[in-house]
Amino acid sequence: MSFCDLLTGLPNRAAFIDHFHVSLEKAKKEAACLALLILDLDGFGEVNERFGREAGDELLRIAAERLRLSISERDFLSRLEGDAFAVILTESASRADMLAEKIIANLNVSFHLGEGKDFRIGASVGIARYPENGLEQDRLLTVADCAMYEAKTGGGNRSVRGRVRGHGHAGRGILFDDCYLTGIQEVDMQHRKLVDLVNELIGAVGTGKRDAAIRIYEKLAAETEHHFSTEEALMKGAGYGRSDAHFREHRFLMDELRHLKGRIIEGGEIQVLQLLTDWLVTHILNADKPMGDFLRDKRASGTSPDFA
């Protein structure tokens, strides 16, 4: 498996996941702090549209170099995918806010992409901290992603700290707040319903009510299939370019949900909570929110079928 991003020379997502796991285990063992920054370039898509793919690639290479110069030698920088990057701070994690502002300032400087091709971008940065925002890798990633989307939907070119939420702890369930909204009313209503069912399921498992848990699980599976059908119809109607990958993820998630039934029968509230949180929340943040952005743009341009 390759651990290097060929375009920028940075560690890639696989390297990031591996390093994050090692860093987090070390922080737990040493009772130390850790900070995670997830950042997304604001306005990058316009570069490809105006100047072409080659200019976009050049901007990513320059941005990667500016990020390298922004961090210390103790920090770990990686390119996750597209125009998304991550930084792990294992020493002096309290520097996270200052580093985020430094990164934004360095990326705000104009990019020279060739003759007559000067362009300015911004950056939206989400910050998650161990142990304040969570104890596990997936939880911290979700918090950082959510904070990054909050920064972007709030106008971009700023950083947002992850909030301490209840859904990382047993018995509390998932707290559905504004950072999970796609802006598509029908989709958001269905997401809320799924979250309510997930929380009911977590409660039933936590109190040992296995029969009730299985009944709730069956309802959750049916509602999930209905929800995926709704999303797929919207994507097909709007000509969403990432629909094939999104459909594949739906099939994968349904398979995961079927396997989850065995975990519910075995019991274990914390394990079920973590699995369900990763299964639902991660999909909303990484797949459904970008879909919502596209659908809203299509609606605003008057080129998409009507939807709520």
Single-letter code of the amino acid located at 239: G
What single-letter DSSP state applies at residue 183?
S
Report the distance separating Cα 148 and Cα 158, nearest Å: 9
Placement of tokens 């919502």 in the chain:
292
φ/ψ region of 106 (left if φ > 0, alpha if ψ in -120 to 50, else beta) reads alpha
Q: Which residues contact 17 (CB under 8 A, 6 or more apart)?
A: 137
Placement of tokens 């970008």 in the chain:
290
The CA-based angle 114-115-121, given to 5 degrees, is 55
Catalytic annotation, pick one of 42, 83, 188, 288: 83
The H or E element containing residue 16 is helix 13-30
Report the distance separating Cα 45 and Cα 191, nearest Å: 28
Tokens of 119: 């362009």
Alpha-carbon 183 to chain mean position? 16
Report the distance separating Cα 293 and Cα 276, nearest Å: 24
Sign of the CA dihedral running 145, 148, 154, 156: negative
- Tell me whether residue 83 is one of the annotated catalytic residues: yes
Largest CA distance in the chain: 68
Report the distance separating Cα 108 and Cα 110, nearest Å: 6
**Nearest-CA neighbor of 264 among 307, 188, 205?**
205
Active site residues: 83
